[in-house]
Amino acid sequence: MRGNDRGAAAVAEHCRRVDRSDVRAARRRTVGRIRKTPVFHTTVAGPTGPVPVTLKLEYLQYGGTFKVRGTLNALLTSSARTDQVVIASAGNAGIAAALAAAWLGKACTVVVPESAPHTKVAAMWSHGAEVLWHGTTYAEAARHATELAAERGALQLHAYDLPAVVAGAGVVGLELEDQVRGKPPVLVAVGGGGLVAGIAAALGRRQQVVGVEPVGMPALHAALLANRTVDVGGPGVGLDMLGATRVGEIALDIARRYDVPSLLVTEEAIAAAREYLWREFRIVVELAGASALAAIQSGAYTPSPGERPIVVLCGANTDLGAL
């Protein structure tokens, strides 16, 4: 295939719509390879008293991140005949790529910005990945990853904006249908949007899916207002938590299709929610993993009478000393 043809094919794949059938296919493809993470029915402290919730314990996934679902699905569906994988990541996507590549006997190179947390880089190494530092931002690392993949003839993965990645993450939604009676709203942290988009694609209009973002990094919120993806954020804790300064095109498409709103919470509320999870349940999650709970505890999301919302706890790769 000539270079222009490969580029056109990549654009077509990148823009392809993701729906429930893609998520169901991802579940069939990855069954037995991925953990079906449990749910926990409990109550948490809210602004005016106890709030019944169902916690989806996705932080118990292999690698401590939901991202391994989408990465594995992408590798299993790829037609590229190569034993090398390249990805740019500030953290969890790199861990997921390293782990999934190791399962399938492929070499993995992760290009990380200089600000990548040591805890996450160490996890990449532990799964056998080559880690290369490049640039100070994810965007700079991503450009270098593209160049590197072309030089090596490697398969390049995207952390959140590939159809197979979104579909794989969406299996969380299918699991929730099996695990939780009724159709309660599902609150999901938003970084690049792969998880919230996948769950919304899986559930469609059967259940309300709600995105939750830090006020300093409102990527989905800003995209919905602008009706296009836009860069957001600046230096600060938000960058460390969720990484992406622009939501994915796929996530924006699905959010518009299924009316997925974005709620904003402060970094302080997210930190308090993470501390609460540790103090009350001995659950250890990273800041991003506590974002959805922060919406309930801060009052950004108020459940209807008799409602027990689902809160997805999505990542466990954190420095324990920060708790």
Boundary (domain end) residue, out of 142, 159, 176: 159
pLDDT of residue 254: 97
- Give me the domain span that covers residue 90: 70-159
pTM here is 0.91
pLDDT of residue 272: 97
Q: Are residues 255 and 239 both part of a single domain?
A: yes
Contact 169, 69 (CB under 8 A): yes
Q: Are residues 103 and 211 both part of a single domain?
A: no
Distance CA 99, CA 120 (A): 12
Residue 2 placed within a domain:
no
Q: Are residues 258 and 280 both part of a single domain?
A: yes
Residue 12 placed within a domain:
no
Residue 192 placed within a domain:
yes
Boundary (domain end) residue, out of 111, 137, 159: 159
Q: To which H or E segment does residue 244 belong?
A: none
Q: Are residues 265 and 250 both part of a single domain?
A: yes
- CATH classification of the domain holding 170: 3.40.50.1100
Distance CA 317, CA 297 (A): 22
Residue 17 placed within a domain:
no
Q: Are residues 109 and 207 both part of a single domain?
A: no
- Block means of pLDDT (10 residues each) for the chain, length 323 residues? 38 68 98 97 97 98 97 93 92 95 96 90 94 90 94 94 97 98 97 96 97 95 95 57 78 97 97 97 94 98 96 88 64
pLDDT of residue 8: 35
pLDDT of residue 323: 63
Q: Are residues 108 and 193 both part of a single domain?
A: no
Q: Are residues 52 and 129 both part of a single domain?
A: no
Give the start-end residues of each E strand in the chain.
39-46, 49-57, 84-88, 107-112, 130-133, 155-157, 186-189, 209-214, 262-265, 310-313
Amino acid residing at 309 = P
Residue 8 placed within a domain:
no
